[in-house]
Amino acid sequence: MPPPRDSSELMKFASSRLGKTVFDLEDVTVQAGPKVLLKHVTWQLGPGDRIGLVGVNGAGKTSLLRAMAEAARSEGEQQPAGGQVRVGRTVKLAYLSQEVAELDPDWRVLEAVQRVRERVDLGKGREMTAGQLCETFGFGKEKQWTPVGDLSGGERRRLQLLRLLMDEPNVLFLDEPTNDLDIETLTQLEDVLDGWPGSMIVISHDRFFVERTTDRVFALLGDGALRMLPRGIDEYLERRQRMEEAAAANSPAPAARTAAETPEKSAADVRAAKKELQKIERQLDKVSEKETKLHAQIADNATDFAKVAELDAELRALAGQRDELELRWLELAEDA
Ligand SMILES: Nc1ncnc2c1ncn2[C@@H]1O[C@H](COP(=O)(O)OP(=O)(O)OP(=O)(O)O)[C@@H](O)[C@H]1O
Ligand SMILES: [Mg+2]
């Protein structure tokens, strides 16, 4: 167990100020090879915007973030297949990609952190050394000497996040940040993001993570549009179901609008509804916790096929439970 961490410390990572323009997409087309994933996307990410981005596997979520990140990295030189991505001059982007980024496996944890910075500014004249920061992120003295190559998937993800945040970005792109994270790190990441003053886009299949960390949900529904969903993930699930039904009847969904629309429900309504749903959410958390544990056990027993099969069966049973809970959650959400 990592030592208890003071999340309030973490919230004070410095981040330079953002101007009015952050990302400005105009009539953008995104392709992967010859495949057109998005077209005619006109959209703005403003300062302080917190966006959840959802869509099925292969919808183009990663490709969109990548196109935006490339424009930022190249200072506008590199543009998508069509249209224009304008990047604000004040933007300092940190991008946690879906693939676990390569770190030299021989580096020690502490060294990997020190290579970003020896110390970070926490504001009000307070500083933290790389070592202290490691501790805060659950890498105790001993762990700090572990070669990066020996870290677990979750630990490596945690290290990457730490490295990203200490570089004082003001825009965060997180592509599936919760993969491999244990519950505690997940909670802690949510705390860090709660106090995050910059703009962010989070891609995640973890609906609760998206709901906790972002304010608005946009979806790629496979029709080339980027669409704002005023009712968030619920609406996404409903739409997907409708699309599946429509696909069965072979009638295409109506054309997309990318402009932001005002939410139909007040924030208070949503909060009230969520309260009633908390019980189910807690149950779902427990399921996630068990799943994380099982994933770890599977990793630990990777060479024992019988054991892996057994654990895998347990995982599938849990997935069934999760589906049921999510369904109940949806029904309740409609009543609420
Ligand atoms: N270089 C490439 N050439 C051809 N096709 C590609 C290339 N890169 C990605 N694709 C395809 O483009 C589609 C979109 O990929 P992308 O990674 O953006 O999806 P995603 O929404 O992030 O999916 P996931 O949820 O699985 O991460 C996929 O069908 C993928 O196979
Ligand atoms: Mg992806």
Question: What is the dihedral sign for C-alpha 46, 51, 54, 57?
Answer: positive
Q: Closest residue (by CA) to atom 8 of ligand 1?
A: 32
> Which amino acid type is present at position 276?
E
Evaluate whether 256 touches 225 at the Cβ level (below 8 Å): yes
For residues 103 and 160, the answer to whether their CB atoms sit within 8 Å is yes
What does DSSP say about strands 23-32 and 82-87: parallel, antiparallel, or unpaired? antiparallel
* Sheet hosting strand 23-32, strand order edge to edge: 35-45, 23-32, 82-87
Query: In terms of C-beta density within 10 A (0-12 exposed, 13-18 middle, 19 or more buried), how is residue 271 classed?
Result: exposed
Q: Which residue puts its alpha carbon closest to atom 16 of ligand 1?
A: 60
Which residue is associated with the tokens 């004040």? 90
Q: At what angle do helices 267-300 and 305-335 cross, to 10 degrees?
A: 170
State the distance from the centre of ligand 2 to the C-alpha of 101, rounded, in angstroms.
Answer: 14
Lining ligand 1 with CB less than 6 A are: 32-33, 35, 37, 55, 57-63, 98
Question: What is the rounded end-to-end Cα distance, in angstroms, of the chain?
Answer: 38
Which residues, other chains included, contact 305 with Cβ-Cβ below 8 Å and sequence gap of 6+? none
- Ligand 1 atom nearest 220 alpha carbon: 21
pLDDT tens-digit readout, 135-146: 888 899 999 999
Find, among 157, 181, 152, the residue nearest to 96 by Cα: 157
- Nearest atom in ligand 1 to the alpha carbon of residue 205 is 25
CB neighbour list of residue 334: distance below 8 Å, 6 or more residues apart: none
Q: Which atom of ligand 1 is nearest to the CA of 60?
A: 18
Site to substitute for ligand 1 among 41, 63, 68, 226, most atoms within 8 A of C-beta: 63
Instruction: For residue 161, report the distance from its CA to the centre of ligand 1, in Å.
Output: 23
70-76 long-range Cβ contacts below 8 angstroms, 24+ apart: 71/23, 72/23, 72/171
Contact 106, 141 (CB under 8 A): no
User: What pTM, to 2 d.p., does this model score?
Assistant: 0.70
Ligand nearest to the CA of 36: 1
| Centre of ligand 1 from the C-alpha of residue 220, in Å | 12
Cα distance between residue 300 and residue 265, in whole Å: 46
Q: What is the pLDDT along the chain (336 residues), one digit of tens a residue?
A: 444 444 444 445 556 788 889 999 999 999 998 999 999 999 999 999 999 999 988 999 999 999 999 999 999 999 999 999 999 999 999 998 876 667 889 999 999 999 988 988 766 677 889 998 898 888 999 999 999 999 988 888 889 888 988 888 899 999 998 887 888 788 878 877 887 789 999 999 888 899 999 999 999 988 899 999 999 999 999 988 888 888 888 755 555 544 444 445 566 666 666 766 777 787 888 888 888 888 888 788 777 777 777 888 788 888 878 877 777 777 777 666
Residue nearest to atom 25 of ligand 1 (CA): 57
DSSP classification of residue 144: G
Beta bridge partners of 174: 96, 202
Q: Which ligand is nearest to the CA of 59?
A: 1
Give Cα 170 to chain centroid, integer Å. Answer: 16
Alpha carbon of 267 to ligand 1 centroid (Å): 34
Residue 211's nearest CA partner among 271, 145, 258 is 271
Pocket test for ligand 1, best of 53, 54, 57 (most atoms within 8 A of CB): 57
How many other CB atoms are there within 10 angstroms of residue 169's CB atom? 22
DSSP output for 179-232: TT--HHHHHHHHHHHHT--SEEEEE-S-HHHHHHH-SEEEEE-SSS-EEEETTH
What is the token pair recorded at 232?
Answer: 């968030």
Ligand 1 center to 32 CA (angstroms): 6
Nearest ligand to the C-alpha of residue 55? 1
Instruction: Return the amino acid letter for 193.
Output: L
Residue with CA closest to ligand 1 atom 6: 32
Of 89, 4, 30, 49, the C-alpha closest to 218 is 49
What tokens were used for 182? 């244990």
Which residues are placed with Cβ below 5 angstroms of ligand 2, an ion? 61-62, 98
- For ligand 1, the distance from its centroid to the CA atom of residue 33, given in whole angstroms, is 9
| Distance of alpha carbon 107 from alpha carbon 148, whole angstroms | 6
